[in-house]
Chains A and B, each alone.
Chain A
Amino acid sequence: RSKKMSKTAGKSATKRVVDDDDDDLELFKENSDEVPQKVEEEEDGEDSDDSDSEESVFSGLEDSGSDSDDDDDDDVEVEEDFEEEITSDCENEDRSPGLEPKEEQPSTKKPSKPQQGEKLLLKEKTATRKAGGSKGRAKDNGTVQSEEAKGQVTPPQVDEYEHDTSDEEWYQDYPHIGYDLDGKKILKPIRNKDELDEFLDKMENPDYWRTIHDKMTAADIRLSDEQIDLIHRLQRGQFGDVNFNEYEPYVDFFSDETMIHPVTNRPQDKRSFIPSLIEKEKVSKMVHAIKMGWIKPRKPKESEQRFYDLWAKEDPNAILGRHKMHVPAPKIKLPGHEESYNPPPEYLLTEEEKLAWEQQDPEDRKLAFLPQKYPCLRVVPAYSRFIHERFERCLDLYLCPRQRKMRVNVDPEDLIPKLPKPKDLQPFPTTQSLIYRGHSSLVRCISLSPSGQWLASGSDDCTVRFWEVCTGRCMKTVEVGGTVKSIAWNPNPSICLVAISFNETVLLLNPCLGDKLLYNATDQFIASYVEPEEERPQLVQWEVPQDEDFDNGFRLIINHPKSVKQVTWHGKGDYLASVLSDNSNTQVLIHQVSKRRSQNPFRKNKGIVQCVSFHPIRPYFFVASQRCVRIYNLIKQELMKKLMANCKWISSMAIHQGGDNVICGSYDSRLSWFDLDLSTKPYKVLRHHKKALRGVAFHKNYPLFASGSDDGSVIVCHGMVYNDLLQNPLIVPVKVLRGHTITHNLGVLDVAFHPMQPWIFSSGADATIRLFT
C-alpha cells in the first residue's frame, strides 16, 4: 500500500524515507497485529489526509495571519519609531499630546489580536495533530502537497471544519467506526485481504493500479477514467479543467490612455471625495509638530560635487592662456596618386613634360619630384629627397606663426576726417563768369586794386593792362619794355600805385583809375620827394620818368642790377620788396618809396630765393627758397623760423590775412599749408593738382584759398583759420575751376582773389584772364 501510495503520490525524498520507515514498521506491526494495525493505518491515512488538508488550510490561514501580523507589526514599529522621534524631540515638553499615539496603539492592535489568538490556537492544534498523526500525514502528503503546489484547482474536499475527525482516533481500537441514526454501530469493513491477497490482486487485477482503498468505508474504489485523467493532468502541471484556456487573449483594461468612459459604472464612494478625517488628523498633528519645532524636515542630502572645472578660475593671461590663441601647425599635404610607387599612367609624365619639368625653376614646378613607376614595392629605392623634405617641413614649422595677430578692426571710412560738405561752405567761386581778353601772349601775373574795381595784368606781350572787373572792359594798356614778370597793386587804398617788374626794372605806375583825388594825391606824394642832402651809395638806381612816360602813368623806375623776378608790397604801401634772379647775396631788395631808398636785408645767400612776402601785420618777412621758407624779423634782424616745405621747388607763396598761416605751392604739384603755431612742418599737404602749381592766393575776407596749376585748373579750398588756438585750421577742397586752355604745357599762371567778393581771377597761358564767381 505504501508503494502504491508512493507511486501515486509522494515526491519528497525525506518523506519517502519516513514512509519507508513507516512501511517497515507497519509491515512489522501488521504482522503482529493486523486489524488494529489496519485500523490504525486507515485512521492514520485518514488522519494524515485530514491533517494534511488542515495543514494546508492552516498554512494558508497562517500565511494570511502572519501577513497581517507582519503588517501590524510593521505599523506598530513605524508608530513606535514615530513615537520615539516625537518623544525624543519633546523630552521636556508635557507629554499629553505625545501620549495620544500610545493610546491609539492598543486600538490599532486590537483587531489583530483575535487573529493572533486564532493563530496560536491553530498552531497548538496542528502541533498536537502533527504529534499524533505525523506518520499518516506524511503518507498522503505527496498528492496533496503536489495538488496544493499546483494551485488552487484541487477538487473541493469535504469541509473539514464541520466534520470532526477526532472520532477517528476515538474509534481506533473499536471494530466499529461510529453509529448510525438508529444508534446501531457501524462496523468497520472487514479487512480480509492479507499480503498474499494483495499480491495476487496486484498480479491479477488489471485495474489494481487504479484501485485505491477508502479508509472510511474500507472499500476499494476503482478510479474512473476521468479521475485518472485528472490526476495525470495535475501531475503534468496542467489545469484540471480540460476546457480551461490559460492563454486567453489579455484584455488590457488599464491602459495608459485616458478613456472617456469609466471602467466600471459604479458611482464613486463618498469617501473618495471627502477628505479623510484620520489623514486630516495626522496631517494636522504633523503640521503642529513642525510648527512647534518637534519635527524638523529632513535635511536635503548634500550632493557632493565630485567633479569641478579645473580651468574655471584660470587667468587668461597666464602661461596656459596662450593655448587659446593656439595656431595649429600647418598640415602636410596628403600624398596623392603621383606619389605612389605605381601611379596610374595619367600621372606619369611624358618625355616632353619631363623635359619641361627639368627646365623649370624648382619654385615653379608643380611637383617637387618626378612620378615614377616601379613594378613592385621592393624595387623602390631610398627616397633621395627625404632629408630635404624633412628640413623643409621643419622650416615650415619653424616659420609658421605661433600667435594670431590681433588685427585692429577699423572701418576705413572712420579714418577719413569728417569734413563739412562743400555746399555748406558757400560762398565760393563756382562758375566762370567773365573772360578778359586782350593780351596777345601768356598772362603771367594779375593783381586787384584794393577797391576791387580794377584788375591789372602783366603779360609776355610786354604790356600791362587794366581792366574793369565788372564788365571785362580793358580800360588801359601800358606798354613796358619787357615781359612782365610780376605785378602788384599797392594794398594801401589811399595810394594808387602799381608795381610792375620787367627785365631789370621795377616800375611804379599810377594807373589813374578810380578816385581822382586819390591818384592825384599819389602823384603829389611821389612828387613831394625831397632829395636828401648827402647822396648815399645806392644798390639800385631810382629814376623819375619824364614826359611821355609820365603821361603813360610811369611814376618811378627802379633799375636793378639783375632781372627782377618778383615784386611785392608791404601792407602799408610804402615798402616794396623785389626778388632778383641772381645767385649772389643780393637776391632780395627792400625799397622804400617815400624815401626812395633801397637796402639789402640779407648778407648771405641761402639758396635761390623764389618769392618773398611781407607779414600782413607784424614786421616779419617771408623768404621762400627752393626747399624752405624762412621767416625773418625785420626789426630784430634775425631768423625766426624755417619752414620745411617738404617739396622740391617752391613756386609761390601766400600769407593768410592773420599772418599765422602760410601756403606754398610747388612745382612738384603740392600745396603745403603751414600753421606757424603748430610746427615748421606742413600742417597739411594737398596733392590735388596733377601738374606744377604756379600760383597760390588767400582771400582777404573769406576763408578761401586757391591754387592755379599747369594742368589748367584752379582749385578753390575752404581754409578756415580759427582764433581759438586749440582748433586747427579746417581745410576742405571745395571746387575745381576749369576754363583755361593749356598752351605750351602751361595752364594757369597766376590766381588772385577779389578783395571783397568771393570771386577768383586766374590768368592763363592762353592769354586770357578769367573770373570765376
Chain B
Amino acid sequence: MAALATFLVPVLLLCGPDPCPAAAHSQPEVKCVLFNEEYMNCTWGSRETLKANYSLYYWYRNTSNKVECKHYWQDQDIRVGCYFNQNEIIQFQPFHVLLKASMGGSTLEISKRMELQDLVKPDAPVNLTIHNMSNNQLQLTWATTYPKAKCLEHAVKYKSNKDTDWMEISVNGDVFSLPSVDYKKFYTFYVRSKVNKYCGRTQLWSEWSVPVVWGSNSTSKGTVHWLWIHTVLIPIASCLILLVLVILLVRMERVWVILMPRIPNPSKNFDELFITHNGNFQEWAGVPKDVVESFKPNYSENICYVSELPPKDSYEPLWESSNPPPSVMPSASPAPGEHSPYKNSYGRV
C-alpha cells in the first residue's frame, strides 16, 4: 500500500486535477523530413493520437532566440505538424526543436536535436530514357530535380515480362547499362535516389520514379492475335471455302462427276441382247447357225432311274422270283434287238 502510494503521488502531482496531456497516450515524437532541400515538414502525430494544444519552437545552434513555427499543419483544429520553407532551413548546423503540449493547466515539453542534412529526401528521378546501344546493350538515363546531382546515389529496379522477381542494382552516376537484352522480352525499369555518404548520413530513399518500358509485348499481343485467328478467322474461312465447294459441286457436273463418279451400269451394253434378240445369246453373239445346230442332240435318251439295292442278308435273287423286282420301275422296256448300254448292269449289285 505504501509502495502504491509512493508511485501514485508523483503522477498525481505532475498531472494535477486536470487530465495530463500525455498521460493517456505515449509521448509524441517530432519527426522532420527535408523534401528535396526545398521545404521541410516536422510532424508529431495525428488527430487520433493527439489531444492537447501543441506549439513548436525551433532554433539553431548559433542563435539564442527560439522562433515559433509560422505555418502549422492542422487536422480538425489540432496542430499535428509544422511547415518550414527554404529560408528557414540551415543544414550542417544543429537544429533544435521544442514541442510544448498544453492541456488544461499543465504543459509538457519535448525537445529534440537534429542534423537536417541527414534528413533529406530527394524527389524521384524524372525523364527516364532508354537508348539502344550496340551488342544488344541497353542504356538507361534519367534526370533529377535535386539541386546537387553529384550528391545522389541511385538504385535501378527492373524485370522482364518473363521474370518473377525484380532486380535491384545500385548506381553511382546517372547512367545504367544492361549488358545483354532479349528482344523478345518486355522490360520495365524504375529508378530512385538517395543522398550519398559524401553529402550526408541519411537513410531516406526517394519514391520510385515513373516507370519506363522497352521491348516487344508480343507475347500478349501474339496470344490475342492467335486467339482471334483460331476462333474467328479460320472458322469463317472454312465455311466460305465449304460454301464455294458446295456451289461448285452443284453447278459444275464435271466437278461432281470427279467427286461422285457414277455407279457403272452395264445393262446398256446388253440392251440389244435382251430387247432385240430376246435373250438369245447365240444370236446376239453372232454364233453361226451350223455351229448352233451341231450342239443340238440327234438322239433321244430315256431316263434311267437308278437306286441302291438292300444289303446281302435280306437279299433275294431277283431271277428266282416271278415277280418283277419292286424297286425296278422301267418307264419303257427296251426292245430285245435294240442295243441298250445299261443292259449288263441291270439288277446286279
A and B: bona fide binding partners: no
Seen from chain A, the residues whose Cβ lies within 8 Å of a Cβ on chain B are none
